[in-house]
Amino acid sequence: MNQAEYKILFVCMGNICRSPTAEAVFLQRLTERHLQHRVKIDSAGTHNFHPDLPPDERSQAHARRRGYDLSGLRARPVVDTDFEEFDLLLTMDWDNRTLLEERCPAHHLHKIRGLAEFLLTTPSSVIPDPYHGGSQGFEQVLDLIEEASEGLVRFVEHKALA
C-alpha cells in the first residue's frame, strides 16, 4: 500500500468519546468513496487520562447502533510528532483547540482547525462533550460528527486530494 496522501488527526480531551467516534465515522465515509488508502486518520486526546483504553462503552453502544465499530480503537495522547506528521488536526471544542495551539510549533498552527467548521447546515462551533451527560448527548455527538464528516470528505475530495 502506498503512503497516504493526506493525514487527519481528530482530537478531544481524553480520546474516549468524540475523537474515536469521529475517527470511525470518517473512516466509513472514506471507505464509501474508496478513499481509505489515500487518507490516513487517527485520534488522540489533549490529556492522557485513559492510555490504551478502548472508547467509552456509551460511545461504543451508540455508534454500534448506527453501524460504526469503535471497539478496536485505543486512547492515546497527542504527541509532539503529531504536529509534523498530520496535515490537519481537528479539535472538538475550544478548550482542545487552545491546548493544541499552546503546544504547537508556530509553523504548524495553520493545521489546527475545529471539526465543527465542516458542518454543512447545523450552526455549532463545537462538538460538545457527552461524557457527563445522558444518552441524548451521545446521539447529538453522532449527529454532528456524521454531518461534519460529510463536509470533511467533500473538503478532502475537492481540496486536499485535488
Residues serving a catalytic function are: 12, 18, 129
> Distance between CA 85 and CA 162 in Å, rounded?
20
29: Cβ contacts below 8 Å, ≥ 6 apart: 149, 150, 152, 153
Instruction: Identify which of 102, 111, 115, 105 has the alpha carbon closest to the alpha carbon of residue 148.
Output: 115
Residue 83 and residue 111 in contact, taking contact as beta carbons nearer than 8 Å: yes
